[in-house]
Amino acid sequence: MSTDTSARTEAAERLDTAQHTVSAVAQLPGGLTPADAYAIQDAVIARRLGRGERLVGLKLGFTSKAKMAQMGVDEVIVGRLTDAMRVPDGGQVSLARFIHPRVEPEVAYRIARDVTPDDDELPVDAVAPALEIIDSRYRDFRFSLPDVIADNASSAGFVIGSWQPLGADLGGRAVRLTVDGTDVETGSTDAILGHPDRALPELLRIARRQGMPLLAGHVVLAGGATAAAPFPPARVEVQVAGLGGVSALGVAR
């Protein structure tokens, strides 16, 4: 695929339209590099900001060693979160908005202040249990590394539980994902790069390289603590030991 501006614009339009029309599209043509893919992601997000959405955070993907090995990569990927993607804790989610929605249990951090070029660490001041809704815009949920980067790392929505001050070690926390009270996935926060705190320097490095702003109050989704599960018309809940829970109700309409 040509990587000139017109080709990137065309790819961004395809992905943006796929989301709006809830219609899966074919994978992008081969030959894209991760840099090309991030440029397409930039263009997709620019279209959404142009319609009035606001950036409210970022998410990390491929934060498990197994997923990195599966995709043949040695670096996490990053996508953006906007206000239009936010769902209130306990709120309803229309599944008709998505092509093939799935959910992942996450740990969320809150950025304490605007990040400056002098910062060696990402300043965060709070943590919360979180639930991410993912929804690839590609047919059959199949994609290459550049495909998924261009598609905003498959991000589609997010729910944040109650914020708590940083304090106790977040490593080794038990995680449960339930549907109508039945466990569908269980795991540990250690699935996130061995410890969720390790997501923060990874995000800082990639965000600086890609020119992504990191601002006070922005949410950081550190990565899935278990495999993703289908999002049915039911109550989906995440429980993280010591952090509490967060939920959303999927409805068919």
Give me 77's structure tokens.
Answer: 């990927």
Question: Smallest Cα–Cα separation from 108: which of 212, 194, 192?
Answer: 192
The partner residues of 81 in beta bridges, in order of sequence, read: 57
pLDDT per position as a tens digit, 82-107:
999 999 999 999 999 999 999 999 99
- pLDDT value at 7 more than 90: no
Q: What is the pLDDT of residue 6?
A: 86
Angstrom distance (rounded) from CA 112 to CA 110:
6
pLDDT confidence band for 3 (50 / 70 / 90)? low
CATH number at residue 92: 3.90.850.10
- pLDDT value at 19 more than 50: yes
- pLDDT value at 141 more than 50: yes
Q: How many domains are contained in the chain?
A: 1
Task: Please state, as a whole number, how many other Cβ atoms lie within 10 Å of the Cβ of residue 160.
Answer: 20
pLDDT per position as a tens digit, 169-212:
999 999 999 999 999 999 999 999 999 999 999 999 999 999 99
Q: Which domain does 121 fall in, by range?
A: 5-251
Q: What is the mean pLDDT of the chain?
A: 94
> Strand, coil or helix: what is 170?
coil
